Amino acid sequence: MKTLTYGIIGCGMMGQEHLRNIALIPGARVAAIYEPDADMRARAAALAPAAALADTLAEVVMNPDVTCLMIVSPNFLHLGQLEEIAVLRPLPILCEKPLFTNPADAPRLAALRATYPAPIWVAMEYRYMPPVAHLLHHAAEATGGVRMLSIREHRFPFLEKVGDWNRFNRNSGGTLVEKCCHFFDLMRLVAGSDPVRIMASGGQSVNHLTEVYNGETPDIWDNAYVIVDFASGMRAMLELCMFADGAR
């Protein structure tokens, strides 16, 4: 069996979760880690003691032991890091969602996609959760074709992240991108087609209103209704509430 040797870029909370998962996979190991935050770096080192700790992204990419990369840095860094990797050493990449946070950067992603010689896979892991995978597999045969799909998430607020980057839309892409891209991905899988019309209403009603970071109050939404019409004729709705601690 060929061993996959990962280079990890970013090892905060999600990066450490990936380290735990890689440790469970036969034929996979972590060769190098880049994490600039001292506390997160130390936690990552404890989880992957055999991995080399790099001081730059380039050190990880150019490490000869590394055969694939995983980007788990804050959202707003993803596109620039993908472009840097493309110049240094294009390797297969698993990138945490989203690939970019500013709609104006879509042409940059298109240019990268047109020229990057290796796979770039976005980590949309909800589709692989066993109950969801079961639903996706049997939805059509059990229903004769899905016409309406409703997804509801009632949950706790966003967790704290290093530097509080996830408290602002400009860094995360906004709640409907940072969190809800998973649900829109599932909608597309069930529909088997792309959206043709989107209607939405959302806002910030409860969470983070009393928090201040460098003189700024967070602007991320904590609730929304989103209706999506698909080319296939399927209609889907998302109901999101992120101040429903303890909801079942």
pLDDT in tens, 193-210: 999 999 999 999 999 999
Of the candidates 43, 55, 104, the residue with the CA atom closest to the CA atom of residue 76: 104
Fold of the domain spanning 4-123: Rossmann fold (3.40.50)
**Domain ranges (residues) in the chain:** 4-123, 127-241
Residue 203 burial (10 A CB sphere; 0-12, 13-18, 19+)? exposed
CATH number of 127-241: 3.30.360.10
Question: Quick check: bond before 98 cis, omega within 30?
Answer: yes
pTM of the model: 0.92
Q: 4-123 and 127-241 share one CATH topology?
A: no
Q: 149-176: per-residue pLDDT in tens?
A: 999 999 999 999 999 999 999 999 999 9
Q: What average pLDDT score do residues 113-135 get?
A: 94
- Predicted confidence at residue 2, as pLDDT, reads 80
Listed in order, strand segments (DSSP E) in the chain are 4-9, 28-34, 52-54, 68-71, 93-95, 120-122, 148-154, 195-203, 223-230, 235-241
Q: How far apart are CA 78 and CA 84, in angstroms?
A: 10
- 15-41 pLDDT per residue, tens: 999 999 999 999 999 999 999 999 999
Tally of CB atoms within 10 A around 32: 23
Digit-coded pLDDT (tens) for 74-95: 999 999 999 999 999 999 999 9
- Whole-number average pLDDT of the chain: 95
pLDDT at residue 248, rounded to an integer: 66
| Of 10, 40, 7, 39, nearest in space to 22 by CA | 7
